[in-house]
A and B are shown apart, each in its own frame.
Chain A
Amino acid sequence: MTMDEWLNAENIEDILPNIVGHYKETSKATIDYNCLSWAVELTDTFIDPENRCVGYSWPDGAEREWTTAACRKVLAYYGYVEECDDGSFEDEYVKVAMYVDESGAPTHFARQIVDGNWTSKLGDFIDVVHHNLSCIEGNDHQHYGTAKYYFKKKGPKSTWPPSEEPLKSLTDSPA
């Protein structure tokens, strides 16, 4: 198996075994953007404090470090100024969940979409829609820790990725 095949195949299930049965692939693997970019609905930049090269960005005003404090400022820059208690569905808001590892460092971001599911860009892997936040949690070094902080902004939720075939109906979906 080549590296390309490895990245594009469902090896993500080996890394995140709890995702099996709870996700739908919505894009091919790419490094054009990362989970933070995808959370704020950007696909043309890789948001990272090490933005010393074309294709990478980091908003002015946020400390150039991958910390919860700096990432809060990045989210605020893109409109997610309100912090909330959980990822429960609220009609008028778009929510983003921040995952942190055991040391408290941010590891991942997921965004709630219109049908109540969540969408994530899994590192350099694929984009997925996943049924809940816990299915990509875990404390192995390649896992994303725990969804701990939630942010919201007023506005319509994204209908992309298309959700004609939701993984589960909203009423069955835990927050």
Chain B
Amino acid sequence: MPETIKNVHRSPNSYPRDWRRPTSNAPRSLRTKLWENLGENCESVKTLVEPPKRPSINVSEQKKFEDLVFWWIKETSASSSLLKKVIHPAYQRIMAKGPSVIPLILKEMKRRPGHWFWALEYLTEGQNPAANSRTLT
């Protein structure tokens, strides 16, 4: 057995980058099959589950997001009304980017508190990951 495969057995966290660990969301039969095959042939496992594409965030998207956040803060920080804040064009443009912007919002919340629950609620279709917080630490 190649060394890399042994490593996979030793630590589930040491999967190669292009793999995805089986999750509880995967169909049970598929998960079982995956684990059965894992010990024998990693390549066959790789073909069983096509790793879903994770939303990739490139530098320009990050920059565009930060520019929008800065625009939004500059023009709405003096207001005390949440509605005024969230109908601002910059905030609307951030929401229009879709779920791929969620990691950037969460990252922004780690940096500083903000009124992001509205956007997160919209982007997660009600399953707001930050419903109980204005910041992430």
Contact = CB atoms under 8 A, between A and B. Distances in A.
Nearest to A65: B83
Interface string B104-137: 0000000011110110010000001011111000
A66 B112 contact: no
B70 interface: yes
Given A3-B69, A31-B115, A35-B80, A53 B131 contact: yes
Interface stretch (A75-83, A84-92, A121-129, A147-155): A121-129
A122 B80 CA distance: 8
Max chain A C-beta neighbours (<10 A), residue from B77, B115, B117: B77
Interface secondary structure of A, over-half rule: loop
B78 A125 contact: yes
B73 interface: yes
Contacts of A100: none
A31 B134 contact: yes
A108 B77 contact: no
A3 to B, nearest CB: 6
B24 interface: no
Nearest to A51: B82
B132 A31 contact: no
Interface residues of A, number: 35
A52 B117 contact: yes
A142 B78 contact: yes
B35 to A, nearest CB: 40
Interface in A114-149: 121-125, 142-144
Nearest to B117: A53
Contacts of B61: none
A106 B78 CA distance: 13
Contacts of A144: 78
A143 B130 CA distance: 31
Given A3-B112, A106-B81, 18 more contacts: A6-B70, A6-B73, A7-B77, A12-B78, A16-B78, A35-B80, A36-B80, A46-B82, A48-B81, A49-B83, A50-B86, A50-B118, A53-B130, A54-B131, A107-B80, A109-B80, A123-B76, A123-B79
